[in-house]
Amino acid sequence: MRIAIVGGTGYVGFCTGLGFASKRHDVVLIDLNAKKLAGVREGRCPVYEPGAAEILRKVLDQGNLTTATIIPEADIILLAVGTPSLPDGGINVTQIKKVSETIGSTIKTWNTSPVIVVKSTVVPGTTETVVKPIVESTSGKHAGTDFGLVMNPEFLREGVALKDFLNPDRIVIGEYDKRSGDLVATLYKDFPGTLMRTSLAAAEMIKYANNAFLATKISFINEIGNLCKRLGIDIDEVAKGIALDKRIAPHFLQSGVGYGGSCFPKDVAALASLAKQNGYEPKLLNEVMALNKRQRRLLLDRLGPMKGKRVAVLGLAFKPNTDDVRESPAIDIIGDLVNQGASVVAYDPQAMITMKQVFPNILYAQTAKEALQTADACVVLTDWNEFKELTIEDFTQMHGTQIIEGRRILKPEINADGLCW
Ligand code: NAD
């Protein structure tokens, strides 16, 4: 199939594009960022994702992936643009609206009936009440007859995005019309996982409920972890014990400094905001968000006043194997340290370029060991595998002895103070 992906150099657009191209579909990535598109043509990935460079090289060589700045004629036009948060927690649909206009004016002259697939995370109702009317008015065509409409949420995780995309637990196809649902089902025909066909709004809600549930699991285990810390109980033994219950499962049960990233914080906030708009007080969701923020505060409180002190921050990405720092705990923690008058020296294997855009004026070390040199204190905020290799000797280069782990990754003999263990 010919698939045009709008937002094609973003995390979701790019990984989706690589995934479909690796299945021999003809994919065209469209984006506003011409520099990144040029990079893709030369084999450079616009985002850091393990394994992506090899697949990019292969699909470019096979001729299954190209780039464009305008949408070419295609069977499927997939929207993967951003839906960032508004100050009230709701989502900003500016990019969705703009792209819907562009799609409408583009398909106006087409003699075919493309299917428009919304892959961006959008609150229930958006595909039908925002995308559909804009495409209809700008194209002069009708949904369900002249063009199709599907909402197909994405569940991939950064760091394992390609594996997740190609091996989903389930594929959700929210359809406005059956023909479009059938076409998108064909697109996924040789993917593993359960294929589920729903209404547009149910598909939109499944994505939010999914992320809100996982965020709840994290805040739950952090609550238990904070209590275990006070009681001298090892939270990881407790987490392992409950994870053996099939009804619970082991994922998202690592207590620590809390969740970040471009999805959980924004999606839980958007769901809470939607609830409020509909006259329902989302008590559990509010508490999940508050507990998550509190983990960052607890770490800073444990550190104590840092004015005039040098603090090594190991790990800037919101999770390992990505360069994404959006809503990373490191942002709040570094911001607070800088405001206090501490001198921060940061290190991350992949995320220093992205973090430099947020904090251009802190110090960045070339290695974790270098960051530790002469530091009065150290905090570990991302569980990158390479931090497992740090030795007691590396930490003896510090001036102080305070080492606080927000993620459990250092060798036990280093005797760091775990946030919840
Ligand atoms: P992103 O910011 O990395 O990518 C968005 C891309 O859209 C950018 O490359 C931007 O240049 C491009 N863009 C914006 N306006 C455009 C326009 N008018 N024309 C062409 N391109 C345009 O965002 P992301 O992280 O890939 O997320 C995209 C959507 O997918 C969001 O709704 C997000 O919530 C959802 N999602 C993200 C993840 C994730 O792990 N990042 C997972 C599942 C779902």
274 and 162 both lie in a single domain:
no
Residue 9 pLDDT grade (very low, low, confident, very high; cuts 50, 70, 90):
very high
Residue 344 pLDDT grade (very low, low, confident, very high; cuts 50, 70, 90):
very high
So what's the pLDDT on residue 30?
A: 98
DSSP symbol at 322: -
Contact 398, 378 (CB under 8 A): yes
The mean pLDDT of 146-154, rounded to a whole number, is: 98
169 and 295 both lie in a single domain:
no
Taking CA atoms only, the protein residue closest to ligand 1 atom 3 is 10
So what's the pLDDT on residue 124?
A: 98
Give a yes or no: residue 163 inside a domain.
yes
So what's the pLDDT on residue 127?
A: 98
Run of H or E including 11: helix 11-22
Contact 60, 22 (CB under 8 A): no
Domain end point (choices 198, 222, 248)? 198
The mean pLDDT of 48-60, rounded to a whole number, is: 95
The mean pLDDT of 336-352, rounded to a whole number, is: 98
The mean pLDDT of 39-67, rounded to a whole number, is: 96
243 and 292 both lie in a single domain:
yes
Residue 328's nearest CA partner among 304, 301, 355, 346 is 355
Active-site residue, 15 included = no
Mean pLDDT (the chain) is 97
The mean pLDDT of 127-155, rounded to a whole number, is: 98
Residue 391 pLDDT grade (very low, low, confident, very high; cuts 50, 70, 90):
very high
Residue 42 pLDDT grade (very low, low, confident, very high; cuts 50, 70, 90):
very high
Ligand 1, atom nearest to 7 Cα: 7
Query: Model confidence over 359-389: pLDDT tens digits?
Result: 999 999 999 999 999 999 999 999 999 999 9
Question: Quick check: CB of 106 below 6 Å from ligand 1?
Answer: no
Query: Model confidence over 293-317: pLDDT tens digits?
Result: 999 999 999 999 999 999 999 999 9
So what's the pLDDT on residue 109?
A: 97
Centre of ligand 1 to C-alpha 274, Å, is 21
Number of domain units in the chain: 2
Query: Model confidence over 100-139: pLDDT tens digits?
Result: 999 999 999 999 999 999 999 999 999 999 999 999 999 9
Query: Model confidence over 267-281: pLDDT tens digits?
Result: 999 999 999 999 999
So what's the pLDDT on residue 367?
A: 98
Taking CA atoms only, the protein residue closest to ligand 1 atom 15 is 95
Centre of ligand 1 to C-alpha 80, Å, is 5
Ligand 1, atom nearest to 161 Cα: 40
Give a yes or no: residue 210 inside a domain.
no
DSSP symbol at 84: P
Centre of ligand 1 to C-alpha 117, Å, is 14
93 and 194 both lie in a single domain:
yes
Give a yes or no: residue 223 inside a domain.
no
So what's the pLDDT on residue 120?
A: 98
Q: What is the pTM of this model?
A: 0.95
194 and 291 both lie in a single domain:
no
117 and 259 both lie in a single domain:
no
So what's the pLDDT on residue 215?
A: 98
DSSP symbol at 85: B
Give a yes or no: residue 81 inside a domain.
yes
Probe residue for ligand 1, chosen from 6, 9, 11 as the CB with the greatest number of ligand atoms within 8 Å: 11
Give a yes or no: residue 170 inside a domain.
yes
Question: Quick check: CB of 99 below 6 Å from ligand 1?
Answer: yes
Taking CA atoms only, the protein residue closest to ligand 1 atom 29 is 120
Query: Model confidence over 161-204: pLDDT tens digits?
Result: 999 999 999 999 999 999 999 999 999 999 999 999 999 999 99
Give a yes or no: residue 219 inside a domain.
no
So what's the pLDDT on residue 29?
A: 98
Q: What is the CATH number for 412?
A: 3.40.50.720
Taking CA atoms only, the protein residue closest to ligand 1 atom 8 is 10
Question: Quick check: CB of 151 below 6 Å from ligand 1?
Answer: no
Domain end point (choices 182, 198, 214)? 198
Residue 411 pLDDT grade (very low, low, confident, very high; cuts 50, 70, 90):
very high
Q: Report the DSSP beta bridge partners of residue 116.
A: 77, 149
Residue 333 pLDDT grade (very low, low, confident, very high; cuts 50, 70, 90):
very high
133 and 38 both lie in a single domain:
yes
DSSP string, 22-70: HTT-EEEEE-S-HHHHHHHHTT--SS--TTHHHHHHHHHHHT-EEEESS
Ligand 1, atom nearest to 11 Cα: 26
117 and 239 both lie in a single domain:
no
165 and 254 both lie in a single domain:
no
173 and 97 both lie in a single domain:
yes
Give a yes or no: residue 230 inside a domain.
no
Contact 175, 150 (CB under 8 A): yes
The mean pLDDT of 57-75, rounded to a whole number, is: 97
157 and 65 both lie in a single domain:
yes
Whole domain around residue 168: which residue ranges? 2-198
116 and 257 both lie in a single domain:
no
So what's the pLDDT on residue 309?
A: 98
So what's the pLDDT on residue 16?
A: 98
Give a yes or no: residue 257 inside a domain.
yes
Question: Quick check: CB of 67 below 6 Å from ligand 1?
Answer: no
